[in-house]
Amino acid sequence: MNKNLELKLKTIKNKVDILVKNYIKKNNPILLYEPAKYSLKSEGKRIRGLLCVLGYEAVRKGSFSNNIFYAASSLEILHLFTLIHDDIMDNADSRRGRETIHKKWDTNTAILTGDLLVGVAYNSLLKAKFKNLVYAINEFNDALITVCEGQGYDKLFETYENIKIKEYYLMIEKKTGKLIESSVIIGAILGEANKSQINSLSNYGKYIGRAFQIKDDLLDIIADEKKLGKSKYGDIKESKKTYFYAKALSCFNSKDLHTLKFIFQKKSKSDSDINKVVELFEKYNLIIIAENEINRLITLAKKSINNIDKSKREPLEFLADKLAVRTY
């Protein structure tokens, strides 16, 4: 492990973390600001903030500006908005080892808190005083719209019995991938990247986004629940059309496919149902297949930034490798 790069990522993460956790100063109305602060205080990987700063550093001209941390924080705050609303729609009880906002307070409070964080995220981005800020705002806004589209597909696919792998990729590239891609693009825009650099970093973000979501799908099945910070098998319980479900449709025999679809049609699933689904995924080596796909995407991500100076792309390559082996 490269200790210098590890320290660099940790330093960036900590700076973003401090800014996010202390961003809101208001206290009233308590109904609004208490859950908002509760959300911002949550622990997170800060991947989007890291990508923003690393994208900026990979292309920046001139001296480093700490204003980039406002942009990085805006992406993390926007991500928290998506998690709050996602938890409501998924009926999730916990997130990052803590009660979700709609469980700790109520659904209406959670919706309002999420809405507030969108405004807070924009407020943070507007503090990033860079020459190309208007272009970064356009990308940020596009990410917000696209994430909502992705969540729409996610909910829609819950009603589908069949889903092709290309449809799964369409959904995750919008729901998860776009904000990851936009994070590195916004950093690059603020660093005054040229078109070639933005295209390269955009491709990097696309591949990272795909790999990140497949890893999430995988961790829902194999992770240590304490490290994961939420209940395992949530995707199966909620009949989510994950990478595993989409792959199952193309390789299960008719008997096993019938069993899978029968279980997924149930609104309430027993432990036996969940164990059976996991058993079927293991029978067809889908866990290994998913791991191979993650590694393939990470390799493509690193190859896509070959036109970035070697010393400047190393942190991005290092982060990509870390994402491939993460355990939560």
| % the chain with pLDDT above 90 | 88
The tokens describing 308, both together, are: 């970035």
Q: pLDDT tens digits for 60-78?
A: 988 999 999 999 999 999 9
Q: Give the residue numbers spanning the domain of 11.
A: 3-324
Nearest CA to 71 among 87, 62, 60? 60
Give the per-residue pLDDT at 328.
Answer: 82
CATH number at residue 108: 1.10.600.10
Q: Give residue-wise pLDDT tens across range 126-136.
A: 999 999 999 99
Q: What is the pLDDT of residues 123-160, one digit of tens each?
A: 999 999 999 999 999 999 999 999 999 999 999 998 89
**How many structural domains is the chain composed of?**
1
**What are the pLDDT digits (tens) for 256-303?**
999 999 999 998 999 999 999 999 999 999 999 999 999 999 999 999
pTM: 0.94
Structure confidence by residue, pLDDT tens digits, 188-238? 999 999 999 999 999 999 999 999 999 999 999 998 887 777 778 999 998
